[in-house]
Chain A
């Protein structure tokens, strides 16, 4: 990747526009904060402190702006609603990225603000423009106390939010980040106490807030920035209320690959294909919410999620159902053996709650969140590309397409190309069985094409296995699909150029020539490296008659 920092930040128009707007507004606000302090005759006393007070007030106003922005990308429910209408303006999927940019900016301006104030207070003490010690301002006044408290919270929150810490112990990050509640309260009250005033001492009175506000000349920014905080708090409460609505775990299926399928019934839960939810099992942890992609289609009478046992929580869940890691291992081995003998991979097992001692625990779900894939039906051709674990949202999307196919409500959609790039197939056995179902249900052999790419290096045994079983067999020996598995990485350049010439030649979509423009929508879920290649390919091969669009999902 020959992309350097300059190219990334300045040479892509969207990013450049964002940078210009984001840092531009920060700078303008800083300049305004500085200017309005410096030129305010009423504050002549404070202005004897010169540049330090000007920059502290400018930076303070910028911090207020950041404090207002930082919660916006976290308003998950609101984002979910406005997202489809605003995809042209900003990528709402990048909300965490935006949250981080605001946080970085906040750290920088906090540094400016704090440094300037440390100079301010030492000068206040020296000149005695107010009869105070620096120490008193730091530790006895609202501004100093909340300021130091916020710095402490920032050290804790920023350091635990480091990618490395988040990976090794998500709880440390998650729980520490809830200090944000106290941080926001400190932020909103940071400017209380009327320290920006035109008199030496506050004009004390006996009623709340114990000084007359006529002399206070602060920016009162909290009146504006408190709203995202209130909305966020309201949203958290709403999520809690919603999560408590009647929910029942109806079935647990264990797939040979070890994935557990939870089928949950919650009538109040409405979603569309491609979205995800948070799940909580109070019996395992009353505080933890874990995100999972929804794997059922909205038409299904239940909401299903597939859980692989890869962490503390998921393994504990496995143990709870009596299918802990050890049981799964034997199941997987049996499945592999069965496959080698050509017996198929074996079926899933339903957890029996009638004759065994295993009961189903209570569950709570929160959601749905994320990108709906409804746009699929607005294009003639959909290219669905999933890489690795990123294939999960396509379970729901493919099922949904299948349901709509049955109902004959496919919209403009004429063909679906599904790409699945994975390193090793056995770990996604449950997905294979789903693909099998969808593939078997196809009446029109041209509607859905499944392309599977296996990127793992193949051992000699496996090579011979493929050579022996593949020739003339109806099903692919690895995936048991009719579609043959391809080995190595897909060459997007040639895939897209062939796609374009096939569409333009009219062989791909019979009758498409009567149309002016054919839309080929690409949906991708997976690592950013592939996303970049795909984006380049879609840009490169878009022409007057074929419009390639690209969208990627995060989770």
Chain B
């Protein structure tokens, strides 16, 4: 029956993960939460978990200003344009570059495990690297 062409399969997984990243990043704008805040955090009732002081930088870019989420969504748009692909992307040299993809996907996975919405799916992206 032929052989599985791994990079074609990886493309589908990457597209799935990227679309999910986009969707989750969008929700992350409204429900801002640093995923790892339970590490050393204290639970208040009501109020939920209060992150430890050591997490302050993350709180700054996730909760105070949803910088990571915005960045995650923009990057997801770029990756989708690269993978789907957008017709104009086909002409660019990075379209044919595997290393760029690996770096971008790693980076996306890294961003995505930092905030609440995507954390559960971030690890899926590792698979797309095959």
> With the chains together, A118 CA to B117 CA distance in Å?
7
Chain B residues with Cβ below 8 Å from A134 are 33, 116
Chain B residues with Cβ below 8 Å from A131 are 45
Q: Closest approach, in angstroms, between the C-beta of B17 and any C-beta of chain A? A: 8
In the complex, which of the residues A111, A119, A138, A159 has the most CB atoms of chain B within 10 Å of its own CB atom?
A159
Is there a chain B Cβ closer than 8 Å to A230's Cβ?
Answer: no
Whether A122 lies near B1 (C-beta < 8 A) is: no
Is there a chain A Cβ closer than 8 Å to B107's Cβ?
Answer: no
Q: Closest approach, in angstroms, between the C-beta of A548 and any C-beta of chain B? A: 39
Given contacts A119-B31, A133-B38, contact A169 B3 (CB under 8 A): yes
Pick from A118, A165, A168, A311: contact of B116, CB under 8 Å = A118
Residue of B nearest to A123 (CB): B31
> With the chains together, A312 CA to B49 CA distance in Å?
57
Is there a chain A Cβ closer than 8 Å to B64's Cβ?
Answer: no
Given contacts A128-B47, A138-B120, contact A159 B12 (CB under 8 A): yes
Contact with B along A130-148 (1 / 0, CB 8 A): 0101110010000000001
Q: Closest approach, in angstroms, between the C-beta of B54 and any C-beta of chain A? A: 18
Whether B2 lies near A155 (C-beta < 8 A) is: no
Contact with B along A464-484 (1 / 0, CB 8 A): 000000000000000000000
Chain A residues with Cβ below 8 Å from B116 are 118, 122, 134
Whether B16 lies near A119 (C-beta < 8 A) is: no
Pick from A133, A158, A170: contact of B49, CB under 8 Å = A133
Chain B residues with Cβ below 8 Å from A155 are 13, 16-17, 124
Is there a chain A Cβ closer than 8 Å to B121's Cβ?
Answer: yes
Whether B5 lies near A168 (C-beta < 8 A) is: yes
Pick from A111, A165, A167, A171: contact of B9, CB under 8 Å = A165
Q: Closest approach, in angstroms, between the C-beta of A77 and any C-beta of chain B? A: 25
Whether A169 lies near B4 (C-beta < 8 A) is: yes
Whether B16 lies near A168 (C-beta < 8 A) is: no
Q: How many residues of B contact A (CB 8 A)?
A: 29
Whether B9 lies near A126 (C-beta < 8 A) is: no
Whether B12 lies near A170 (C-beta < 8 A) is: no
Q: Which A68-126 residues have C-beta < 8 A from chain B?
A: 111, 115, 118-119, 122, 125-126
Given contacts A122-B31, A160-B9, A311-B1, contact A133 B46 (CB under 8 A): no
Q: Closest approach, in angstroms, between the C-beta of B33 and any C-beta of chain A? A: 6
Given contacts A128-B48, A131-B45, contact A122 B33 (CB under 8 A): yes
Residue of B nearest to A135 (CB): B38
Whether A118 lies near B4 (C-beta < 8 A) is: no
Q: Which B25-41 residues have C-beta < 8 A from chain A?
A: 27, 31, 33, 38
Chain B residues with Cβ below 8 Å from A125 are 48-49
Whether A119 lies near B45 (C-beta < 8 A) is: no
Contact with A along B15-27 (1 / 0, CB 8 A): 0110000011001
Whether B33 lies near A148 (C-beta < 8 A) is: no
Contact with A along B46-74 (1 / 0, CB 8 A): 11110000000000000000000000000
Chain A residues with Cβ below 8 Å from B44 are 128
Q: Which A162-206 residues have C-beta < 8 A from chain B?
A: 162, 164-165, 167-172
Given contacts A126-B47, A133-B38, A159-B16, contact A312 B9 (CB under 8 A): no
Residue of B nearest to A313 (CB): B1
Chain A residues with Cβ below 8 Å from B48 are 122, 125-128, 133
Whether A115 lies near B8 (C-beta < 8 A) is: no
Q: Closest approach, in angstroms, between the C-beta of B126 and any C-beta of chain A? A: 12
> With the chains together, A131 CA to B49 CA distance in Å?
11
> With the chains together, A164 CA to B6 CA distance in Å?
12
Whether A168 lies near B31 (C-beta < 8 A) is: no
Pick from A128, A158, A311: contact of B46, CB under 8 Å = A128
7 additional A-B residue pairs with CB within 8 Å, beyond A134-B116, A164-B8, A170-B2: A133-B43, A151-B121, A155-B13, A165-B4, A165-B9, A169-B2, A312-B2
* Shortest beta-carbon contacts, A-B, top 3: A169-B4, A126-B48, A170-B1
List residues of chain A with CB under 8 Å of any chain B CB: 111, 115, 118-119, 122, 125-128, 131, 133-135, 138, 148, 151-152, 155, 158-160, 162, 164-165, 167-172, 311-313
List residues of chain B with CB under 8 Å of any chain A CB: 1-5, 8-9, 12-13, 16-17, 23-24, 27, 31, 33, 38, 43-49, 116-117, 120-121, 124
Report 16 cross-chain contacts, Cβ distance below 8 Å, ordered by A residue.
A115-B23, A122-B48, A127-B46, A127-B48, A128-B45, A128-B48, A151-B120, A151-B121, A155-B13, A155-B124, A165-B9, A169-B2, A169-B4, A171-B4, A172-B4, A312-B1
